[in-house]
Chain A
Amino acid sequence: MTDAPDVLTSLRGLHTPPPPGFDQRVLARIGLDPSADGYVLVDGPTEPLFVAFTDRGVNHVLSARVVDLDADRFATAHRARFGRGIRPAPAPAALDAALRSGRPGKLRIDLRGVTEFERAVLTKALEIPPGEIRPYAWVAREIGRPRAVRAVGTALGHNPVPVLVPCHRVVRSDGVIGDYVFGTLMKRALLGAERLDVDGNERLARSGVHLVGSDTTHIYCYPSCRHARRITDRRRVGFPNAARAEAAGYRPCRDCRPGGAQTA
């Protein structure tokens, strides 16, 4: 055995660098992590929204209300979903226009985290114009998976970018507005802000009318379709389903595609 090393040398040997990843964890906590996604707090159509984005577009939208306007809680939710932190950053240029118009327009959306099926569902939802609604069954039919109605509901419930990808425009097949990731009240408010007569649509559905046609053109539509809204009261005919409309000699609208092919 050698003599004990000099105490001063031993003490200098106690100098210890921080554990691996320490710098990154600290930088993430203070919002300077270079790998973190950018985020902003913006005024949405009906309430404030946290919006996070990568260099490929918006990847996460969360109602600020559900996290009490707390950016730390948004960060926690973001990390749980994407495994990355967030840092304050300037909003993408097209975000404001997208929120005001109800259509993404030039705003890019980063859907890298979703499955192929979810991507098909969300892309289809993007086709529904502001102020119009379609049933879950319509989305299922349109993406060629007519029996996957429940899966469509689940996929819309997992929408990482609500409001921007308008899952709020997809409603229950019985005409009830139904559930929403941020609560059914917000879904109704968003549709109301897009000038949809939410209560009127539900009342119509409850009375058994799910499709409306014009007795001059003999075309039938979903009631919220822009063509259906132009039909005058005198010319409007209600149908409970596509089969009854077809039987009365009507054909489906080419824009809202209320599904005649399967029932004809």
Chain B
Amino acid sequence: MPTREQLAQRAAVDLDATFPDVLAAHGAAVYTTALRVSRQPSDAEDLAAETFVRAYRAMREYPPERLRGLRLRPWLVTITLNLWRNQLRTAARAPVTVGLEAGHEPRATDGDPERAVLEHQGTGWVGACLAALPDLQRQAVVLHHVVGLPYTEVAEVMGCPVGTAKSHASRGLTSLRRRLRPARPQEGTP
């Protein structure tokens, strides 16, 4: 999208005036990544918000030429993934179980259960199967098939060669198809 390319240019001229548009343009990509990678709707908003706060602070320090060259979407999503990995590292000291067994919805531990339910309504089964994928496969599938990043950007975000990113996504997709085909439950059953 041409407007997205122009955002970085505008940010280099007036960051404060442009940042609300950066939020509007990339909020869904960052939030979706946070939601599907963290697997916890309650954490996703914090993770997404923290991404933009860090991004703003970093952009304020960047010289204009660096801002102009910034590819905002993969850069923002990389921040989200880094924040999530740091969170996991911290949480590893006091492990929390993620209640994900076959046929169960991901747990909504949030103070807003209604929203957590809506989040998974209709997409619940696919979302649950996606959440059950191994980390790298899940990341590749989320970034390419859900968020819509091209494989070059997926590879950049995941810090691996393009071929590796493709193979993670492909194995993830195969595994999803296998899980979804035989035992998709009736609509409305929990």
Contacts and interface: CB of A to CB of B under 8 A. Distances in A.
Interface of A: 1, 4, 7-8, 10-19, 22-23, 25-27, 29-30, 32
A7 B181 CA distance: 9
A29 B53 contact: yes
Contact of A11 (B45, B56, B145, B184): B145
Interface in B126-144: 126-127, 130, 141-142
Interface stretch (B15-23, B66-74, B84-92, B98-106): B15-23
Interface residues of B, number: 39
Contacts of B56: 30, 32
B50 to A, nearest CB: 9
Contact of A30 (B57, B145, B176): B57
A16 B19 contact: no
B145 A19 contact: no
B184 A4 contact: yes
A14 B32 contact: yes
B154 to A, nearest CB: 14
A17 B31 CA distance: 7
Contacts of B119: 16
Contacts of A13: 122-123, 126
Given A22-B48, A30-B56, A32-B16, A15 B180 contact: no
A15 B23 contact: no
* Interface class of chain B by DSSP: helix
Contacts of B173: 7-8
A10 B177 CA distance: 11
A23 B16 contact: no
Interface string B7-48: 000000000100110011001101110011000000001001
Interface string B83-121: 000000000000000000000000000000001000100
B17 to A, nearest CB: 9
Given A4-B180, A7-B180, A16 B20 contact: no
Contacts of A7: 126, 173, 176-177, 180
Contacts of A1: 186
13 contacts: A1-B186, A7-B177, A8-B173, A11-B126, A15-B146, A16-B28, A16-B119, A18-B30, A18-B45, A22-B48, A22-B49, A29-B49, A32-B19
B48 A18 contact: yes
Given A22-B49, A23-B23, A26-B52, A14 B36 contact: yes
Contacts of B186: 1
Contacts of B122: 13
Given A10-B123, A14-B123, A27 B19 contact: yes
